[in-house]
Amino acid sequence: MVLAIGLLPFTLMLLPNPRPVQVPKPGYAGVGFYVDDAHGTFKLFPHPREERDFPADAYEVAPSAGLFVKSRQYSDLSAYGLYALPSRRAVAVRKEFVGGLLRMTPKAPLAAGRYVVESSRDGAWEGTDYFYLAVSPLRR
C-alpha cells in the first residue's frame, strides 16, 4: 500500500493534461512551454510521446503568437523545434534567450494548420516532450 501511494505521483506525471492554463506571463508557472497571444499567456502541458492522431483539444493560436520554453537547463538548441503536421516539415524559427526563456520566433508567419513543438524534457527522465497547437487565421 505504501509503495502504491509512493508511486502515484510518478504515475500521474506520465499522464498529459491537455488543457492549457492561463498564467500572468511566460515562465511564471515554472518550466514548460508557453504561448503568448492577444488572449493572454497560456502554459501548455506536454505529451510524453508523439501522438498518432492530432489531439482534438490542441490549443488554438493566432499566426503571430509568441512561443516560449522555460527550462532549468537547456540542452542542445537543436532539441527544440517547431514542425508542421502531418508532413513533419521543420518550420524555420529564430531561437533567442529572453529573460531566462527560450523564445522561438517563426521566420515567416505561420500558415493555418496543425503544429507540434518538440522540447527537450526537463526533469529526472531524459527524452522529448511534445506540445500540440493549431494555428487559426481567425484567432486574434
> Could you tell me the strand order of the sheet in which 59-61 lies?
59-61, 128-135, 113-120, 81-85, 89-91
- At position 50, the amino acid (one-letter code) is E
Q: CB-side exposure of 122: number of CA atoms within 13 Å?
A: 16
Domain-located, residue 140 = no
Residue 131 pLDDT > 90: yes
Q: What percent of the chain has pLDDT over 70?
A: 84
What's the pLDDT tens digit per position in 90-120? 999 999 998 889 999 999 989 999 999 999 8
CATH number at residue 110: 2.60.40.1220
pLDDT value at position 124? Answer: 64
Give the separation between CA 77 and CA 111, rounded to whole angstroms: 24
Q: Is the pTM of this model over 0.85?
A: no
Mean pLDDT of all residues belonging to the chain = 84
What's the pLDDT tens digit per position in 53-87? 999 889 999 888 999 999 887 778 888 999 999 99
Domain-located, residue 85 = yes
Q: How confident is the model at residue 13 (pLDDT cuts 50, 70, 90)?
A: low
Domain extent at residue 30? 2-135
Domain-located, residue 61 = yes
Q: How confident is the model at residue 5 (pLDDT cuts 50, 70, 90)?
A: low
Per the structure, the count of domains in the chain is 1
Domain-located, residue 120 = yes
Give the separation between CA 52 and CA 92, rounded to whole angstroms: 23
Q: How confident is the model at residue 130 (pLDDT cuts 50, 70, 90)?
A: very high
Domain-located, residue 6 = yes
Query: For the residues 29-46, what does the mean pLDDT come to?
Result: 89
Domain-located, residue 12 = yes
Residue ranges of alpha helices (H) inside the chain are 2-13
pLDDT value at position 64? Answer: 87
Domain-located, residue 28 = yes
